[in-house]
Amino acid sequence: MGQRLIIEAGRTERQYWRDLWRYRELFYFLAWRDFLVRYKQTAAGVLWSLIRPVLTMLALMIVVKFGRLSTGGVAGPLFIFAAMLPWQFFSTALSESGSSLITNANLVSKIYFPRLVVPASSIIVCFADFLISAAFLVVLMVYYRFAPPPQVVALPLMLLMALGASFGAGLWIAALMVKYRDFRFIVPFVVQFGVYASPVILKTSVVPEKWGLRFIYSLNPMVGVIDGFRWCLLGGENTIYWPGFAASLLVVVGLVFTGIWYFRKTERTFADMI
């Protein structure tokens, strides 16, 4: 017969995490749906997940060339793309998961399932795009005959950090957007501004170390992630400023935990609010 279900006001559902496990296939199905639907009726199809980052990279390359900026001792496209990879992932994941509850409002207001599934599965879709872009980076490396340094083995850890940053921030935005639609306007701005606030074009080393400026800069979690990616993929001059990296990591961990906490706290009012 199964379990006994109690519905009560303010009850922190003990079965929440068990439910999450039971609905684990829903992660996959929602992600699968979004991926199928995303490029329906487009001529270029999945190519779009390649065209976007490549075009952005070319645009940033122009800035780098004209500004005669340092590219950390490697070819410009490699330098930019190694940073673009996590940045693009973070920015799309943030906007997609942030608006995921709103775009799935019909589900949220009609059917019960752990709401955490919705923003999480939209991040999975962005991750698929990320893998496609990553393949392009490999092509670039082959073209420039560039072999990554041995620390490339640490890349999965950096990836985990990028995932954490997008997931934590995405949960905050998703939960907040249910109540405050203002975030629909804030997120694109953050994403646009973020390219310059994160070391996508520049090296982190241009930020002076005095007065702890670099440390403060590293409180932007993407600083740590991008530096980590460059260090793993390119090495050489692209070193990591470890205290800053630790700060970024701490911020990411904080984002994940507070994100889950806030999401869980507000989750039960979603259906009434949305």
Q: Rounded to an integer, what distance in angstroms lies between the CA atom of residue 217 and that of residue 224?
A: 10
Give start and end residues of each alpha helix (H) in 104-154: 105-110, 117-143
Which residue, 8 or 211, has its beta carbon nearer to other proteins? 8
Cα(83)–Cα(76) distance, integer angstroms: 11
| SS3 category, 189 | helix
Q: Which stretch binds other proteins (CB under 8 A): 65-73, 134-142, 180-188, 252-260?
A: 180-188
269 near other proteins (CB under 8 A): yes
Query: Which residue in the set 14, 40, 68, 210 belongs to the binding site for other proteins (CB under 8 A)?
Result: 40
How many C-beta atoms surround the C-beta of residue 131 within 10 A? 10
Minimum distance, C-beta of residue 54 to other proteins, in the bound complex (Å): 26
Closer residue to other proteins in complex, CB, 182/209: 182
Structure tokens at 108: 């949220």
CA gap 75, 141 in Å, rounded: 10
Backbone φ and ψ for 148, nearest 5 degrees, come out as -65, 150
Is residue 154 within the footprint of other proteins (CB under 8 A)?
Answer: no
Residue 26 interacts with other proteins (CB under 8 A): yes or no: yes
CB-based contact 188:98 (threshold 8 Å): no
Structure tokens at 67: 């500004």
18 near other proteins, rule: CB under 8 A: no
Q: How far apart are CA 104 and CA 128, in angstroms?
A: 20
Residue 65: φ, ψ to 5°: -65, -50
- The smaller minimum CB distance to other proteins, of residues 23 and 262, is found at 23
Nearer to other proteins, 11 or 145 (CB): 11
Q: Considering beta carbons, is residue 4 or 14 the nearer one to other proteins?
A: 4
Shortest gap between Cβ of 178 and other proteins (angstroms)? 10
Question: Which of 3, 145, 150, 210 touches other proteins by CB under 8 A?
Answer: 3
Closest to other proteins by CB, 9 or 62: 9
Of the candidates 17, 25, 142, 236, which one interacts with other proteins according to CB under 8 A?
25
Tokens of 28: 């996959």
CB of 117 vs other proteins, minimal distance in Å: 9
Give the number of other Cβ atoms within 10 Å of residue 128's Cβ.
15
User: Which residues within the stretch 65-104 sit at the binding site for other proteins (CB under 8 A)?
Assistant: none
The b-or-e profile of 4-14 (16+ CB within 10 A means b, else e) is eeeeeeeeebe
Closer to other proteins at the Cβ: 46 or 107? 107
> Of residues 108-127, which lie at the interface with other proteins (CB under 8 A)?
108-113
Decide if residue 10 touches other proteins (CB under 8 A).
yes
Q: Shortest CA distance to 221 belongs to which of 164, 261, 152, 183?
A: 164
3 or 62: whose CB is closer to other proteins? 3
Question: For binding to other proteins (CB under 8 A), which residues are involved?
Answer: 1-11, 22-23, 25-26, 28-30, 32-33, 36-37, 40-41, 106-113, 179-183, 268-269, 271-273
